A and B are shown apart, each in its own frame.
Chain A
Amino acid sequence: MELAIFYLFASIAIVAALGMVVLRNAVHSALSLAVVFVALAALYVLLNAPFIAAAQVMIYAGAILILFVFVIMLLSPRVDQGAGALKWQRPLAALCGLVFAVELAIVAASALLPTERGPFTPERLAEIGDVQAVGALLFTDFLLPFEITSLLLLVAMVGVIVLAKKR
């Protein structure tokens, strides 16, 4: 049953991801990306990570992508635009694609290796709670990266305000 659900959402994610790249209309692409995010969230739920799933929908689909859509609608780019102007990006895109393919192959290969189970098994998560586990890790082992991230976000925010005030 779990496998069937996995295949369902995985295929939705793949089809939508293809749609995002192939579709000519920028708003349709953004919509496909939203479908990818929601399908990924479903996969996270299957992996016993409901917190990540909720965060995925809330942050990526609910906040970031809606700002994309906002900007796309404000600028309303023409459907046929872009093919000529982006020629120099083609080799770059091929290179990035190659790097991702190699990464994917490495990850897929590493799944075949025997590995030890981490401390957060589904049983342990059911006991202490998924959100509690993430929270405890953030404020103990990953406190420094967490604080650095918040500082970075603050710097970005101050930067945006300064830039916006100048106009």
Chain B
Amino acid sequence: MTLDPFMVMLLDVLVKAIVIVVALLGAYAYMTLAERYVMARVQVRIGPNRVGRVGPIAVLQPVADAVKTIFKEDFCPANADKIVYTLAPGLAVAIALLAWAVIPLSPPLTIAGYTIHFYIADVGIAALYLLAVGSLGVYAIVLGGWSSNNKYSLLGGLRSAAQMISYEVSLGLALVGVLMISGSLSLVDIVEKQSPIWNVVWQPVGFVLYCICAVAETNRVPFDLPEAETELVAGYSTEYGSLKFALFYMAEYINIVTVSAIAATMFLGGYQGPFGLLPGAHWLLLKIAVFIFIFMWMRATLPRFRYDQLMRFGWKVLLPLGLANVFATAVVMVLLGR
């Protein structure tokens, strides 16, 4: 039986996309649980210990949370812009998932003459694609904040727009250094070129810059001004409830996994092990897990920036540092004659 190559390609992409989406949704559910345990530990509490316990861990807690969220009333404020209000949470999740199309998860595997690539697409502009998709993420929050017709929501949305645009610039600059030494925009190439030595060795400043900007882009502590509860109730998501709120929450957690995966791919060798040991998806998962833990750790321990501090830090510290890093990388590369 001969298979139409186009149909094979389509099936291949569909299966991978479904697997990745399901895996990310599962990761979201259990990240909420993990975060509660990490926070509990930091605050010397026990954490969730009632629902479906296996040993000390409440394994079924996310299921209970999901059921509770689904059965909440799906409320829409009277003067809200109904279409945009409904669209915004879905948009948030869709955009958060899009980045995964280009992230390579594991080296290719050949089974029975058919080579499986563990990425959905290896496009020549993958790094630009990531930045482009990332730059769309702000829409969901801004639209959600605006359409709720509530001043706290609107303020949260506007803050997030200003914050994400400001930090996006430095985020892009932080990645430029890696792109320069890799000489490619394809994430598969970038990972392959880190085989013996990871990019973080050559780009330590870029790595730190990326990590700071990534936290800002995901609106997490200490950059969670869009939903600063002491000032803005819950910011852009104030008027959201039920599944719509859950979707915003989901987008935030998927974004955390995404920026962690990008950091691991760009700077820490992706699926490459240290010194080229046993490359495989397990290394990528381990690196992502460490990043996620640091995100939770920061949430439990750091205070929030003030708005003017946030802007000053972004434009007067991170941006010049990013430019200097690009300049220094270029000079060193010319001097080394690469």
State whether these chains interact: yes
Residues from chain A with Cβ under 8 Å of B135 in the complex: 57-58, 61-63, 66
Q: Would you list which residues of chain A between 20 and 47 have a CB under 8 Å from chain B?
A: 25, 27-28, 31, 34, 41
Check A67–B165 contact: CB distance below 8 A: yes
Question: Given contacts A66-B161, A67-B165, A73-B157, is CB(A131)–CB(B125) below 8 Å?
Answer: yes
Q: Which residue of B lies closest to A34 (CB)?
A: B139
Residues from chain A with Cβ under 8 Å of B125 in the complex: 50-51, 53-54, 130-131
C-alpha spacing A41/B171, complex, angstroms: 22
C-alpha spacing A70/B159, complex, angstroms: 10
Q: Which residue of A lies closest to B164 (CB)?
A: A66
Check B158–A70 contact: CB distance below 8 A: yes
C-alpha spacing A67/B84, complex, angstroms: 18
11 further A-B pairs in the complex, CB-CB below 8 A; given A58-B128, A66-B161, A69-B146 = A31-B84, A34-B139, A50-B124, A53-B125, A54-B125, A54-B129, A57-B135, A58-B131, A62-B132, A69-B161, A130-B124
Q: Which residue of A lies closest to B123 (CB)?
A: A50
C-alpha spacing A112/B261, complex, angstroms: 48
> Shortest Cβ distance from A158 into chain B, in angstroms?
15
C-alpha spacing A129/B136, complex, angstroms: 25
Question: Given contacts A130-B125, A131-B125, is CB(A69)–CB(B142) below 8 Å?
Answer: yes
Q: Which residue of A lies closest to B146 (CB)?
A: A73
> Shortest Cβ distance from A139 into chain B, in angstroms?
13
Specify the main secondary structure of chain B where it touches its partner.
Answer: helix
Q: Would you list which residues of chain B between 270 and 310 have a CB under 8 Å from chain A?
A: none
Residues from chain B with Cβ under 8 Å of A27 in the complex: 81, 84, 143, 146
Binding site for B on A (CB under 8 A): 1, 25, 27-28, 31, 34, 41, 50-51, 53-55, 57-58, 61-63, 66-67, 69-70, 73-74, 129-131
> B138: CB under 8 A from chain A?
yes
C-alpha spacing A58/B165, complex, angstroms: 11
Residues from chain A with Cβ under 8 Å of B123 in the complex: 50
> B6: CB under 8 A from chain A?
yes
C-alpha spacing A67/B154, complex, angstroms: 15
Check A131–B136 contact: CB distance below 8 A: no
Can you show 19 pairs from A to B with CB atoms below 8 A apart? Answer: A25-B81, A27-B84, A27-B143, A27-B146, A50-B123, A54-B129, A54-B131, A54-B132, A57-B132, A57-B133, A58-B131, A61-B136, A62-B138, A63-B165, A69-B161, A73-B157, A130-B125, A131-B128, A131-B185
Residues from chain A with Cβ under 8 Å of B157 in the complex: 73
List 5 A-B pairs, minimum CB-CB distance, nearest first. A62-B135, A54-B128, A57-B132, A58-B132, A50-B125
> Shortest Cβ distance from B216 into chain A, in angstroms?
16
Binary per-residue interface labels of chain B (234-252) against chain A in the complex, 1 for a CB within 8 Å, 0 otherwise: 0000000000000000000
C-alpha spacing A36/B134, complex, angstroms: 18
Check A66–B139 contact: CB distance below 8 A: yes
Residues from chain A with Cβ under 8 Å of B81 in the complex: 25, 27
> B11: CB under 8 A from chain A?
no
C-alpha spacing A130/B181, complex, angstroms: 18
> Shortest Cβ distance from B283 into chain A, in angstroms?
28
Residues from chain B with Cβ under 8 Å of A66 in the complex: 135, 138-139, 142, 161, 165
Residues from chain A with Cβ under 8 Å of B143 in the complex: 27, 31, 69
> Shortest Cβ distance from B126 into chain A, in angstroms?
9
> Shortest Cβ distance from A153 into chain B, in angstroms?
14
C-alpha spacing A130/B129, complex, angstroms: 14
C-alpha spacing A31/B132, complex, angstroms: 17
C-alpha spacing A50/B134, complex, angstroms: 17
Residues from chain B with Cβ under 8 Å of A62 in the complex: 132, 134-136, 138, 168
> Shortest Cβ distance from A102 into chain B, in angstroms?
33
